[in-house]
Amino acid sequence: MISKIILILIFVLSNSAVFSQIDLLRSKIENILSGKRAKVGVAISSLETKDTLSINGNEQFVMQSVFKFHLALAVLSHVENCKLSLKQNVFVPKSDLQTDTWSPLRDKFPDGNVNLALEEILKYTVSHSDNNGCDILFKLIGGTKVVNDFIHSIGINDVSISATEEQMHKDMDAQFTNWSTSKAACMLLNKFTSNYAQNETHKYLWQLMTETSTGPKRLKGLLPEGTVVAHKTGTSDSNDGGMTFAINDIGVVVLPSGKVYSIAVFVSNTYESYETNEAIIANISKATYDYFISKTDK
């Protein structure tokens, strides 16, 4: 009888320690957000340890270019189903290369009218967040509804993809039709991570996301040099009142042991500076990394 009581006490105390650790991380994140003139959504999840945490996790946040991750998954599902090939050429007319938008692809091929391999357009779209590449891919697979329906079909429902980059550029309000909860973003990252080791197309997407050139001061900003982070950023303009609609980063972080966790941070409706918004993400990312290092990566 005494031994059973001791075992029960050990179980309760050990679980209390787990709860206190995750509560400490929550407290650190809340301190990072304290006093910030911004709405922030955070979700953190590990498939291996089952640890989860969210702040405003069920609220909708403007995605901006984060949705290029969702688009890439939909495009690659077409590749897996043999509807497309990564090696196939896609003709890119000059008319598809908008001049007043972020586009390293257009900068390299300003005259358009060129055949590019699908894998190259994906690289521009994901690794370099190319807006023209994004809309070329939407056109290739049939539009935003195809992507939206695909994401819903794999069980991620708290997300909406309705507007292309061109539509968002022409109408500022269109960006609000592309939204996700931070929990949904984390769930999608988990699905991606659980499959990529056995899935050749997901391995390719993993490579593209680890080569992301945008947002180096966000999720990766304060992590140890050389830490592998497969991530996708999103950034909006500001309105006339100085409010920025979205500074985002979602991704998968690889710990020194090889274990991974997913993290999504959406900074929305913020009156803070660009540097402060990025620092919010970087500090949350570092606190999360330290938590997993201390708890699971010994």
Contacting residues for 122 by C-beta, under 8 A, at least 6 apart: 72, 75, 86, 133, 137, 204, 205, 208
- Decide: helix, strand or coil at residue 76: helix
pLDDT band at 3 (very low <50, low <70, confident <90, very high): low
Q: Which of 46, 103, 129, 165 is catalytic?
A: 165
134: containing domain: 36-296
CA atoms of 283 and 32, how far apart (whole Å):
7
Q: Is residue 206 part of a domain?
A: yes
Q: Is residue 273 part of a domain?
A: yes
Tell me the mean pLDDT in the region 258-279: 97
- Decide: helix, strand or coil at residue 229: strand
Q: Is residue 25 part of a domain?
A: no
211 as an active site residue: the answer is: no
Could you read off the pLDDT of 157-175 as tens digits, one per residue?
999 999 999 999 999 999 9
Give CA separation, 215 vs 32, 127, 153, 243, 270, in Å.
19, 11, 30, 19, 17
Could you read off the pLDDT of 235-257 as tens digits, one per residue?
999 999 999 999 999 999 999 99
CA angle 118, 123, 126 (to 5 degrees): 120
165 as an active site residue: the answer is: yes
CA atoms of 16 and 22, how far apart (whole Å):
10
pLDDT higher than threshold 60 for residue 94: yes
Q: Is residue 10 part of a domain?
A: no
pLDDT band at 47 (very low <50, low <70, confident <90, very high): confident
Contact 37, 62 (CB under 8 A): no
Task: Say what the pTM is.
Answer: 0.91
The total number of structural domains in the chain stands at 1
Could you read off the pLDDT of 143-157 as tens digits, one per residue?
999 999 999 999 999
pLDDT higher than threshold 50 for residue 9: no
Q: Torsion over CA of 42, 210, 234 and 140, rounded to 10 degrees?
A: -130
Q: Is residue 94 part of a domain?
A: yes
Q: Is residue 106 part of a domain?
A: yes
CA atoms of 40 and 23, how far apart (whole Å):
18
Q: Which of 46, 54, 65, 182 is catalytic?
A: 65
Contact 137, 75 (CB under 8 A): yes
CATH assignment of the domain containing 125: 3.40.710.10
pLDDT higher than threshold 50 for residue 285: yes
pLDDT for the residue numbered 10: 41
Contact 75, 202 (CB under 8 A): no
Could you read off the pLDDT of 197-215 as tens digits, one per residue?
678 899 999 999 999 999 9
